[in-house]
Structure 1
Amino acid sequence: MPIKLENVAIAVRDLEATIAFFTDLGLSVMGRDTVSGEWTDTAVGLDGNHAKIAMLQTPDGNGRLELFEYIHPDAIETEPTLPNEIGMHRVAFSVDDLDAALEIAARHGCTPLRGVGTYEDIYRLTYLRGPSGIIVMLAEELQKG
């Protein structure tokens, strides 16, 4: 059976701020909507499901993020995920210029959890805490060619 990753969905506290963060990093908004009704209750498994959503895409067209902000029921705040917790971990992006990407992230109040590391002279990379506590990994390939 063929299988294809469609997208990664992330519930966010502030849809507009999260869209601004990811579009400043280079993703584009494919579409936006507000969804509710019996079909969403059934598909999501949540009665009274009502959310604002946005689908974002990477410039190469291969990666998509679905962001959603709940209108109803109320969103439940949780402690931000730590890198070693079981469950959804992080979303990762390759960037051409890590320093430029970090400057963009900083304009959104997002800085590395600790710093920038180098993996075997192949990647410079870092984890940062993005909007709504999302862990975002940014990696720059050092051996471009």
Structure 2
Amino acid sequence: MTKSKLLEMHNVGIVVESLDKAVSFFEEIGLTLEGRMVVAGEWAGQVTGLGNQEVEIAMMVTPDGHTRLELSKFLSPKTIADHRTAPVNSLGYLRIMFRVDNLDELLSRLTKYGAKIVGEVVQFENIYRLCYIRGVEGLLIGLAEQLGSQTATDILENT
């Protein structure tokens, strides 16, 4: 039998309270709404282990078309836990990091969505300016502006 191989990372899923607010926020960052629908029924619950469920999802896609963010609002069963405002050193979901082309301009636009910088905007060598923000619904988002042609991956590969 041929060993299965990874083909791509398709999406990351985040559960939110307001799909409309989350879609608007991630559109402001630069993702595009690819589609929106309700997924319901026992078959869906067989995948998640929740039994009969009803979830409204919005699939967002990055400009390069390679990566997606699936935003979900559970209609039933209701959500039972909230980890959105946990600090960065918590177990489980940490954050999503986006590479952007003008960090300061984007930060000024995201403030109208209630985004707040967690610490400071810092510079990592001559490679990135970056920060963490608490975005819509308290989600932890990383934003990085690449300064030159070298990336953090380049550094890791040369160590």
- The two structures have a TM-score, normalised by structure 2, of 0.86
Indicate conservation of the 8 Å contact 1:81/1:133, yes or no: no
Q: Which residue of 2 aligns with 1:24?
A: 28
Matches within 5 A, 1:1-145: 1-3=4-6, 4-79=8-83, 80-144=85-149
What is the CA distance between 1:134 and its match in structure 2?
1.3
What is the CA distance between 1:126 and its match in structure 2?
0.4
Task: In structure 1, give the amino acid aligned to 2:138.
Answer: G
Q: Which runs of 5+ in 1 are unaligned?
A: none
What is the CA distance between 1:36 and its match in structure 2?
0.7
1: CA distance, partners of 2:137 / 2:81: 9
2: CA distance, partners of 1:21 / 1:102: 12
What is the CA distance between 1:144 and its match in structure 2?
4.8
What is the CA distance between 1:81 and its match in structure 2?
2.1
- The two structures have a TM-score, normalised by structure 1, of 0.94
What is the CA distance between 1:6 and its match in structure 2?
1.1
Task: In structure 1, give the amino acid aligned to 2:51.
Answer: D
Which structure is larger by alpha-carbon Rg, 1 or 2? Answer: 2
Task: In structure 1, give the amino acid aligned to 2:88.
Answer: P
Q: Which runs of 5+ in 2 are unaligned?
A: 151-159
What is the CA distance between 1:34 and its match in structure 2?
0.5
The CA RMSD measured in Å over matched residues stands at: 1.4
- In the comparison of the two structures, how many residue pairs are matched? 145
